[in-house]
Amino acid sequence: MIPTLDWRRFSTGSDRSGFIADLGAACKAPGFFLLTGHRIDPALVSAVFSAADGLFDLTEAEKRTLALPSRPKDRGWSKIGTESSTADSPHPDRRETFGIGPETLGNAPQMRWGTPYRGTNVWPDMPGFRDVMLKYFGAAQALSLALHWAIAADLGFPEGWFDARFRKPDASLRLMHYPPARGLEGEMGAGAHVDQDALTLLLTDDEPGLQVWSAEANDWIDVPHVPGAIVVNVGTCLQDWSGGRYAAPLHRVLPPREDRRSVAFFLRPEKRAPQVHQSERSSLQAWAPEATGRHANA
């Protein structure tokens, strides 16, 4: 069972302690939850999906001009069959994607040093596409950062503990299109994997397919689509920060019957996030050495 949490319980202060407790339970197992009351404008979400549809409707020749082979996962277009979410799998993911990162000027130090997840975005020649995507990028980032205040409270971290680790987050946004299944053996929309970040915020349409592994059920369980809700899941960075109390869940996407679309926002700590003093390590009992650097480079 994937729990549904109403963000207004925390954001308005009406039931902060209850929300924090429910959030902590969801992050421990199954590591997935649905978030309602998040105040991201439904019109903006609709505009994001419409813009993504327009992008994926371009001809392959047009989309090839948006591909960046040197940075296939976090910038530009990737063709169906060129990625595999499951390491060493003989079956590549059957989806096409488009990656967007923080806007960084070409002469910025991060560009010169090749910092992970920092670089120049490539944009299609589609009116309004860039503005819509960057507006949603900002809204998703603000929400994911706010969630970390509740997470800090649940883990017993000092108030605002995460702030210094996300001053300039290495975040990315991925638009994903899954074409209908062909019925081939071993075919997957996205193979089983865990996310290498702190939190993932996912917009989905009403086409099923997303599943998470449940140790309790010893089986895959469906992640439902709830109109207006955002799917949130824990990544390995937050699992490390929590000292293993939170679970970065294994999940996958089955080949859909009809075209399936989703939009994922991945929040990662910045490359040079501050380290933790030994005294703080002992009191928190949750710090995994080198977690920030390791996940910033994932």
Q: What tens digit of pLDDT does each residue of 190-217 get?
A: 999 999 999 999 999 999 999 999 998 9
- Contact (Cβ atoms closer than 8 angstroms) between residue 167 and residue 269: no
pLDDT at 112 over 50: no
Average pLDDT over residues 64-73: 78
First-to-last CA distance in the chain? 30
Angstrom CA distances, 76 to 94, 175, 206, 260, 279, stand at: 17, 10, 25, 19, 43
Residue 40 vs residue 168, higher pLDDT: 40
- CATH code of domain 4-269: 2.60.120.330
Residue ranges of domains in the chain: 4-269
pTM of the model: 0.88
The reported pLDDT for the residue numbered 83 is 83
At residue 105 the predicted structure's pLDDT band, cuts being 50, 70 and 90, is low
Query: How many other CB atoms sit within 10 Å of the CB of residue 222?
Result: 12
- Percent above pLDDT 70 for the chain: 84
CB 2 within 8 A of CB 212: yes
Name the pLDDT band for 289 (thresholds 50, 70, 90): very low
Residue 287: pLDDT over 90: no
- Residue 170 CA to residue 168 CA, distance in Å, equals 7
- Give the confidence band of 88 by pLDDT, cuts at 50, 70, 90: confident
Of residues 280 and 132, the one with the higher pLDDT is 132
pLDDT > 90: percent of the chain: 72
pLDDT at 281 over 80: no
